[in-house]
């Protein structure tokens, strides 16, 4: 009983992500190596990182005929673009992922629960396998560097540019008194808070 009753999609042999296996002639053990650079398909992305659509992806593949079909293995390499999860600066990094997928011959009977991909005639579409491998390997929280201190939680300043950056912490107990002094003494906020603390200290004593 065949596992697939529907007609397979028609593949374009001119597509850079479609591989022709006729050279293997279904002879188990026959092998072919393939190197090519292809444009990245759309949607190779997660929330904060992506391989831009159309960017070059370098494939180093081996196609090997086995009893069930054709085993495709190798690597894909591409440049990932994103932004640092700490400081939001642009991040560029090389990504190399392993590919391995068995493509079963279209006339091969397999168990109903079989989830292997299939050849369409002599053609293989590796785009789904490439997409799965790349998306699963994309960083969910990329960093421009491991030492990146990020942004100030108070004002958003980039802390790497201002190593001594800090904000004065005002005791909430004196905030109301500082407001009262600000109404009667138009001086800076630091002086008002200091005066408020002085009054508070006298009241406590």
pLDDT digits (tens, 9 = 90+) for 162-183: 676 677 666 666 666 666 666 6
At residue 1 the predicted structure's pLDDT band, cuts being 50, 70 and 90, is very low
Q: CA 196, CA 97: separation in Å to the nearest integer?
A: 62
What share of the chain has pLDDT > 70, as a percent?
66
Q: Which pLDDT value is given to residue 3?
A: 43
Q: What is the mean pLDDT of residues 91-116?
A: 82
Is it the case that residue 146 has pLDDT exceeding 70?
A: yes
Please name the residues in contact with 188: beta carbons below 8 A apart, sequence gap of 6 or more: none
This prediction's pTM = 0.69
Mean pLDDT of the residues in the chain: 80
Is it the case that residue 50 has pLDDT exceeding 70?
A: yes
Q: What is the mean pLDDT of residues 70-96?
A: 93
Q: CA 80, CA 186: separation in Å to the nearest integer?
A: 54
* Domain positions in the chain: 18-137, 172-204
Q: Which pLDDT value is given to residue 144?
A: 85
Q: What is the mean pLDDT of residues 27-51?
A: 95
Closest alpha carbon to 18 in 123, 111, 113, 147 = 123
Q: CA 49, CA 43: separation in Å to the nearest integer?
A: 11
Instruction: Specify whether the backbone of 112 is left (phi greater than 0), alpha (psi in -120 to 50) or beta.
Output: alpha
At residue 85 the predicted structure's pLDDT band, cuts being 50, 70 and 90, is confident
């Amino acid at each position: 009983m065949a596992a697939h009753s529907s007609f397979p999609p028609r593949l374009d042999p001119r597509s850079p992500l479609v591989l022709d296996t006729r050279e293997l002639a279904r002879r188990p053990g026959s092998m072919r190596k393939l190197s090519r650079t292809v444009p990245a398909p759309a949607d190779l992305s997660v929330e904060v990182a992506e391989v831009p659509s159309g960017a070059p992806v370098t494939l180093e593949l081996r196609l090997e005929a086995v009893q069930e079909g054709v085993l495709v293995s190798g690597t894909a390499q591409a440049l990932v673009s994103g932004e640092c999860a700490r400081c939001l600066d642009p991040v560029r990094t090389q990504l190399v992922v392993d590919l391995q997928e068995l493509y079963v011959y279209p006339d091969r009977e397999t168990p109903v629960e079989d989830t292997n991909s299939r050849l369409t005639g002599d053609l293989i579409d590796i785009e789904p396998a490439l997409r799965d491998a790349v998306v699963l390997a994309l960083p969910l929280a990329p960093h421009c560097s491991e030492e990146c201190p990020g942004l100030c939680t108070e004002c958003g300043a980039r802390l790497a540019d201002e190593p001594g950056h800090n904000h004065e912490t005002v005791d909430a107990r004196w905030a109301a008194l500082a407001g009262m002094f600000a109404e009667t003494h138009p001086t800076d906020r630091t002086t008002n808070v200091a005066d408020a603390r002085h009054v508070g200290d006298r009241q406590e004593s």
